[in-house]
Amino acid sequence: MSMAVGSPSGTLKADINITPLVDVVLVLLIIFMVITPILQMGYDTNVPPKDNTVSTPSTLDQVIIRLEGDGRIFINKEEVGEREFPTRLQQVLRGRESKVTFFAAAGTLSYERVMYYMDLCKNNGAQKLGIVLEELSGS
């Protein structure tokens, strides 16, 4: 039993052993097959359709309710008393196509008072309420 080392002519054989290469490729293939379905998991969302038109809302058509910290109530820039607020709001919203009302309140007011007026807005014709989160200035 003899073993031949090298070729009979004395040159080295330079063949590539592809077995480790195939092993690595198969392991990578299995890893990608397992990870791909995991990466595609997520939540379904309803995205609004893309609208390329740019429209600026008219400030004349907006209704802004503002509650000041000292108890004054404004519909747009008109000061309204607490008793006539519901009827005045109905008059302002009557005939408008868009019944969106923006609501701004001073941060010093109690939660109950703010929610009371938000409920009044909803009960007197405002279909959608937008809440203004910026700090009120005395304008």
Q: What is the pLDDT of residues 106-119, one digit of tens each?
A: 888 888 998 999 99
In a domain, 21, yes or no: no
| Closest by Cα among 104, 96, 46 to 75 | 104
pLDDT computed for residue 100 by the predictor: 83
The answer on pLDDT for 59 being more than 60 is no
In this prediction, residue 125 carries a pLDDT of: 83
Answer yes or no: is 26 within a domain.
no
Reference 98, options 60, 51, 67, 132; nearest CA is: 60
What is the model's pTM?
0.53
Does pLDDT of 42 surpass 80?
Answer: no
List the beta bridge partners of residue 65: 75, 103
The percent of residues in the chain predicted with pLDDT above 90, rounded, is 21
Structural domain boundaries, residue 125: 63-131
Number of domain units in the chain: 1
In a domain, 97, yes or no: yes
73 belongs to a structural domain: yes
Most confidently modeled range among 18-32, 41-55, 95-109: 18-32
The CATH number of whichever domain residue 79 belongs to comes to 3.30.420.270
Query: For the residues 2-31, what does the mean pLDDT come to?
Result: 80
Instruction: Give domain status of residue 47, yes or no.
Output: no
Lowest-confidence pick of 7-16, 32-41, 54-63, 68-77? 54-63
